[in-house]
Amino acid sequence: MKYNTVIIGGGLTGLVSGIQLQEQGQRVCIISFGQTLLHFSSGSFSGEESNTDVQALLKNAGIATVAGGYRLTPLGELRPAALTLEGYYHSETAELKEKSFAIVRLPKYLGLPIEFLQDTLTAQGREVSIITPDEVVGCPAEVILVPACKAGYDLKKTYGKRVSLIAALPPSIPGQHIHAKLQQYFQKIGGTYINGDKVVRSTLQTDEKGVRVQSVETQNLGDELIVADHYILASGSFQSEGLQSNYDHVWEPVFGVDTNAPEDRTAWTALDFFEDQPYQHIGVLTDEAGHALVEGRPVSNLYPAGHILGALRTDIQNLNDALRIAKNL
Amino acid sequence: MSQEYDVIVIGGGATGAGTARDCALRGLKTLLIERYDFTNGATGRNHGLLHSGARYAVNDAESAEECIKENMILRKIARHCVEEHDGLFITLPEDDLEYQKTFVERCQHAGIRADIITPEDALRREPAVNPRLIGAVVVPDGSVDPFRLTIANVLDARLHGADVLTYHEVTSLIINNGRVEGVNLRNNLTGETSEARAQITVNAAGIWGTLIAKMAGAQVSMFPAKGSLLIFGHRVNNMVINRCRKPANADILVPGDAITVIGTTSDRVPIETVDNLRVTPEEVEVLLTEGAQLAPALASTRIIRAYCGVRPLVASDDDPTGRNISRGIVCLDHETRDGMAGFITITGGKLMTYRLMAEIATDMVCKKLGVNKRCTTAENALPGTQPDSVEHEYDVVKDHSPYGRRSAGEDNRDENKTYVSHVQQGRFGNNAHNIEAGRPDKDALVCECEQVTVGEVEYAMEHQMVERLIQLRRRTRTGMGTCQGQLCALRAACVLSHKTGVEAAKADLRNFLNERWKGMQPVAWGSTLSEAQLIQRVYRDVCGL
């Protein structure tokens, strides 16, 4: 199978670069293992400043967002967000603008820490009540918060603007929505999305021009190699298995891209959970033009993007990179 | 505040809890004091091995005999804390098969059943065992949940009138005219100070007992021997696997609940460091290498955490590892030994012999008080194992079920058994039917790995002295599963906040996440590193903690 670009990893970075490339007229194939970090999404995209190109791309895919401002965490804190899904509670300033809040407690649902949320809002001088789904009608509170779970989305459908969604514990329904919309859009514009498969091997070719990826092989397709002009490596960090580790080293499993991981295992972690954890900074290495380095040599058609470069990168950083790489191909 | 007791027991490990129970059963007005939560010391930081005594048969006959006797007693009185699955002592080609002969002989001498079986038979009974084995002996090893066992002793002590204080630390002893008359206390949560008085004070503080004894001017030389262990993410073996050779590092593999534990190392550490020990990379290395000798599958099994404890061995000679020090029980009467009346130290021993240690200490207390009551702890089953358990005392009547799944006082679980009620029975024995169930808000799962419901959390809060996540973990296993608290910690913290208030619950959540990380950090590679990254994702990114 021959493509212009093959993208390894079907998460946010992979899908957005795939959509951009497909819209530029390329033939693109995304190979996804099945799980992505989007399943841990808060309903907002993190980062300093949103890029209008990103927002427009998401809109085309059917994902409406609000730029800038602050999102409300499940613990009731306002945190800056680059983009927030429409329908979620969102504040333009670092202060809650409303005086009264109601939180809907869904039967048998523990994904929203209601007690903590209530306490934080109350501490900011807000009037907070906890109501059942039946009490939404006639509830006098200015804002009615419902957790972003299946039942919460159903309430949102019923009551529309009267209720605002708030992020809850994973699995993230908003993340699954974002993922589904992006995937559908990518496929609608002609992209090939291989789901539930895994790249297990790659062939690198070395000649006078340097090192190139020749082909990749997946678990399910076996001998039927996938060949492309360009390869984007968007397979994520440890949590998505884009990086792997054992007791004595860290490696990138598909191409063997070099990493910045310290040799000594004890240097991967800090003793306190809340300290900056060094492993969050572990990523693969690239040259200045963004080509992956394998054994110190740049691979001229392989571009790492997203969390495989470091897990602390914001969504917006990843998205901007995805667009930049795509536009240069 | 000043309270008068017959006896104060210092230390909320198995020995202290057992002593408080024994004292209470013999009618003494008893106070049990623990500076943090129960089982915070060596009791909660070992293999959870229900020793047959075979391990000590060759070198320490006295301990071996004590172990097998107590082993058989615990199977009766603490049925809900014990798994009876037997153990193997295997000989590998590099070991001396001659040792097996001596071993079996010494076991039989100590009264421990020890049957030689063929390597083929051993592999059939325990497929995880190293197939290179050339010899195997079956002994009555098992596993015991030390958390469950200790809390059952505490509950029984309370049922018989004992008072119990957790998070209270003894800052000094009250001494008058060469007599210990009580203790000065500090509440480790609030900082408040108080005192309690008693005719006799029993020092059952494990390794910290040396510091308590010092407060009375008595010297008890301890040998703090650090032991590190690893927990694997699933139950690799179904029988305990030991090496049939002189006890050494990492030569016991114990299955318990849904996991397997390998241990231990043994190294002397300075007494000043025992509150802040961490598992070192070298220890992890040793445990992994040696563990794979017992069961090769360990080399490719996920490690969920590492932990370490300190054995309260009583120093005898210059043995640098402590392996040769007797695990025997030491009960010191400081009146005859140091001229300090009203003060007893009970130490040495093992988790396995906690009941016997308690009996010996309580005998001494009774003798000093002139009380002539016989010990009954070997016959009376613990709460959870008793046929008629504590619900009568607590007067719990709970029946919300429209389906009549549970009703007060009778256990109709067998008819309507669910997986959750099954695991709860495992954790609480016949007290499990006091857990509220059959209503959506009570049946909601707080911890999916270990199947802990809201009803169970509330039961633990009400009846098992639970206010914090670490206590909840020890009583119910919340957060002990493969996710190590990723989602359950926050859910459980919310339920606990109903009792403690939100501010305390938030602080507790942070501490708990750090405590979970402490055990993951030494083994943070592979799936454990991925899991840690996801926990960071949930709490730092999504929740903004």
Name the minimum distance, in Å, from the CA of B399 to any CA of chain A.
18
Tell me: do A208 and A79 sit in the same domain.
Answer: no
Q: What is the pLDDT of residue A43?
A: 94
**Secondary structure (3-state) at B406:** coil
Tell me where in chain B the CATH 3.30.9.10 domain(s) lie.
81-143+223-309
- The DSSP string of A141-192 is -SEEEEESSHHHHHHHHHHGGGEEEE--SSS-HHHHHHHHHHHHHHHHTT-E
Q: Is residue A228 part of a domain?
A: yes
Task: Note whether A175 and A181 are within 8 A (CB).
Answer: no
State the pLDDT confidence band at B324, using cuts at 50, 70 and 90: low
Q: Is residue A303 part of a domain?
A: yes
Closest Cβ opposite residue A273 in set B502, B517, B543: B517
Q: What is the pLDDT of residue B322?
A: 61
Q: Domain B4-42+147-219+322-369 is in which class?
A: alpha beta
Closest Cβ opposite residue A238 in set B505, B516, B533: B533
Is it true that the peptide bond before A113 is cis, omega within 30 degrees of 0?
no
- The DSSP string of B450-515 is TTEEHHHHHHHHHHS---SHHHHHHHH-TT-STTTTTTHHHHHHHHHHHHH-HHHHHHHHHHHHHH
Q: For residue B412, which phi and psi values (nearest 5 degrees)?
A: -105, 30
Tell me: do A119 and A161 sit in the same domain.
Answer: yes
Specify which residues A144 forms β-bridges with. Answer: A102, A163
CATH number at A74 reads 3.40.50
Q: Which residue, B234, B291, B295, B263, is CA-closest to B449? A: B234
Q: Which residue, B389, B375, B496, is CA-closest to B432? A: B389
A271 chain-B contacts, CB cut-off 8 A: 278, 518, 521
Tell me: do A151 and A211 sit in the same domain.
Answer: no
Asked if residue B392 has pLDDT above 80, the reply is: no
Residue contact A79–B534, C-beta within 8 A: no
Asked if residue B401 has pLDDT above 80, the reply is: no
CA A18 from centroid of its chain's CA atoms: 14
- The DSSP string of B139-197 is E--EEE-HHHHHHHHHHHHHHTT-EEESSEEEEEEEEETTEEEEEEEEETTT--EEEEE
Tell me: do A155 and A76 sit in the same domain.
Answer: yes
- The C-alpha atoms of residue B240 and residue B178 are separated, in whole angstroms, by 49
Sequence length of chain B is: 545
Q: What is the pLDDT of residue B485?
A: 87
**For chain A, first and last CA: distance in Å?**
19
Tell me: do A28 and A65 sit in the same domain.
Answer: no
Tokens 């607590």 locate to: B394
State the pLDDT confidence band at B440, using cuts at 50, 70 and 90: confident
Domain-terminating residue out of A110, A139, A166: A166
Q: Is residue A24 part of a domain?
A: yes
Q: Is residue A222 part of a domain?
A: yes
Q: Is residue A171 part of a domain?
A: no
Task: Note whether B245 and B264 are within 8 A (CB).
Answer: no
State the pLDDT confidence band at B484, using cuts at 50, 70 and 90: confident
Task: Note whether A315 and A46 are within 8 A (CB).
Answer: yes
B540 chain-A contacts, CB cut-off 8 A: 274
Looking at the structure, give the CATH architecture of the domain made up of residues B81-143+223-309: 2-Layer Sandwich (3.30)
Q: Which residues of chain A have pLDDT under 50?
A: none
**Secondary structure (3-state) at A132:** coil
Q: What is the pLDDT of residue B394?
A: 36
Q: For residue B66, which phi and psi values (nearest 5 degrees)?
A: -60, -45
Q: Which of A117, A122, A238 to mutate to test the interface with B (most CBs of B within 10 A)?
A: A238
State the pLDDT confidence band at B271, using cuts at 50, 70 and 90: very high
Show the beta-strand stretches assigned E in A219-278. 227-233, 244-245, 250-251
Q: What is the pLDDT of residue B319?
A: 54
Q: Which domain holds residue A197?
A: 2-41+176-327
State the pLDDT confidence band at B330, using cuts at 50, 70 and 90: very high
Q: What is the mean pLDDT of residues B510-517?
A: 95
Amino acid identity at A162: R
Name the minimum distance, in Å, from the CA of B226 to any CA of chain A.
20
- The C-alpha atoms of residue B119 and residue B133 are separated, in whole angstroms, by 6
For residue A240, give the chain B residue with the closest CA: B530
Residue contact A115–B534, C-beta within 8 A: no
Task: Note whether A278 and A294 are within 8 A (CB).
Answer: no
Tell me: do A31 and A51 sit in the same domain.
Answer: no
CA A63 from centroid of its chain's CA atoms: 14
Q: What is the pLDDT of residue B400?
A: 36
Tell me: do A57 and A130 sit in the same domain.
Answer: yes
Q: What is the pLDDT of residue B321?
A: 60
Tokens encoding A70: 């602050």
Q: Is residue A92 part of a domain?
A: yes
Asked if residue B511 has pLDDT above 50, the reply is: yes
| Sign of the dihedral through C-alpha B522, B526, B528, B530 | positive
Task: Note whether B277 and B226 are within 8 A (CB).
Answer: yes
Which residues, in sequence order, are CB contacts of A187 under 8 Å at separation 6+?
A: A193
For B28-52, the pLDDT digits (tens) are 999 999 999 999 999 999 999 999 9
Asked if residue B390 has pLDDT above 50, the reply is: no
B526 chain-A contacts, CB cut-off 8 A: 244-247
Tokens encoding B356: 């016997």
Task: Note whether B12 and B204 are within 8 A (CB).
Answer: no
| Sign of the dihedral through C-alpha B153, B157, B162, B163 | positive
Tokens encoding B471: 């206590």
Q: Which of A273, A275, A315 to mutate to test the interface with B (most CBs of B within 10 A)?
A: A273
- The C-alpha atoms of residue B208 and residue A23 are separated, in whole angstroms, by 70
Residue contact A73–B521, C-beta within 8 A: no
Tell me where in chain B the CATH 3.50.50.60 domain(s) lie.
4-42+147-219+322-369
pTM: 0.92
- The C-alpha atoms of residue B224 and residue B281 are separated, in whole angstroms, by 20
Residue contact A274–B454, C-beta within 8 A: no
Tell me: do A211 and A98 sit in the same domain.
Answer: no
Name the minimum distance, in Å, from the CA of A224 to any CA of chain B.
30
Tell me A301's DSSP state.
T
Asked if residue B404 has pLDDT above 50, the reply is: no
Tell me: do A132 and A216 sit in the same domain.
Answer: no
Count of Cβ atoms closer than 10 Å to residue B192 Cβ: 11
- The C-alpha atoms of residue A186 and residue A181 are separated, in whole angstroms, by 8
Residue contact B541–A280, C-beta within 8 A: no
**Secondary structure (3-state) at A195:** strand
Q: Which residue, A236, A234, A206, is CA-closest to A297? A: A206
Asked if residue B411 has pLDDT above 60, the reply is: no
Q: What is the pLDDT of residue B402?
A: 33
For B302-323, the pLDDT digits (tens) are 999 999 999 988 876 455 566 6
Is it true that the peptide bond before A5 is cis, omega within 30 degrees of 0?
no
Residue contact B544–A110, C-beta within 8 A: no
Residue contact B513–A273, C-beta within 8 A: yes
- The C-alpha atoms of residue B475 and residue B150 are separated, in whole angstroms, by 10
Q: What is the pLDDT of residue B486?
A: 86
Domain-terminating residue out of A134, A166, A198: A166
CA distances from B96 to B23, B91, B243 (A): 47, 7, 11
Q: Which of B303, B441, B499, B529 to mutate to test the interface with A (most CBs of A within 10 A)?
A: B529
Q: What is the pLDDT of residue B410?
A: 41
Tokens 């910290």 locate to: B208
Closest Cβ opposite residue A108 in set B444, B529, B544: B444
Residue contact A247–B445, C-beta within 8 A: no
Burial, B400: exposed, middle or buried (Cβ in 10 Å; 0-12, 13-18, 19+)?
A: middle
Q: Which residue, B266, B226, B306, B287, is CA-closest to B41? A: B226
Residue contact B525–A246, C-beta within 8 A: yes
Produce one character per residue of A291-317: b if its CB has 16 or more CB atoms within 10 Å, e if not.
bbbbeeebbbbbbbbbbbbbbbbbbbb
- The C-alpha atoms of residue B428 and residue B413 are separated, in whole angstroms, by 13
Q: What is the pLDDT of residue B387?
A: 67
Task: Note whether A316 and A54 are within 8 A (CB).
Answer: yes
Q: Which of B289, B508, B525 to mutate to test the interface with A (most CBs of A within 10 A)?
A: B525
Name the minimum distance, in Å, from the CA of A247 to any CA of chain B.
6
Closest Cβ opposite residue A245 in set B493, B525, B536: B525
- The DSSP string of B5-64 is EEEEEE--SHHHHHHHHHHHHTT--EEEE-SSSTT-SGGGSS--EE--SHHHHTT-HHHH
For B176-212, the pLDDT digits (tens) are 999 999 999 999 999 999 999 999 999 999 999 999 9
- The C-alpha atoms of residue A151 and residue A281 are separated, in whole angstroms, by 37
Tokens encoding A310: 């470091």
- The C-alpha atoms of residue B251 and residue B263 are separated, in whole angstroms, by 6
- The C-alpha atoms of residue A84 and residue B72 are separated, in whole angstroms, by 63
Domain count, chain A: 2
**For chain B, first and last CA: distance in Å?**
39
Domain-terminating residue out of A166, A192, A225: A166
- The DSSP string of B300-354 is GSPEEEEEEEEEEEEP-S--SSSTTS---EEEEEHHHHHS-BTEEEEEES-GGGH
Name the minimum distance, in Å, from the CA of A249 to any CA of chain B.
9
Tell me: do A289 and A268 sit in the same domain.
Answer: yes
How many A/B residue pairs have CB atoms within 8 Å? 120
A40 chain-B contacts, CB cut-off 8 A: 534, 537-538, 541-542
Residue contact A40–B440, C-beta within 8 A: no
Q: What is the pLDDT of residue B37?
A: 96
Tell me: do A15 and A111 sit in the same domain.
Answer: no
Q: Give me the interface pTM, i.e. the ipTM.
A: 0.95
| Sign of the dihedral through C-alpha B281, B287, B290, B294 | negative
Q: Which of A46, A116, A282 to mutate to test the interface with B (most CBs of B within 10 A)?
A: A116
B491 chain-A contacts, CB cut-off 8 A: 110-111, 113, 169
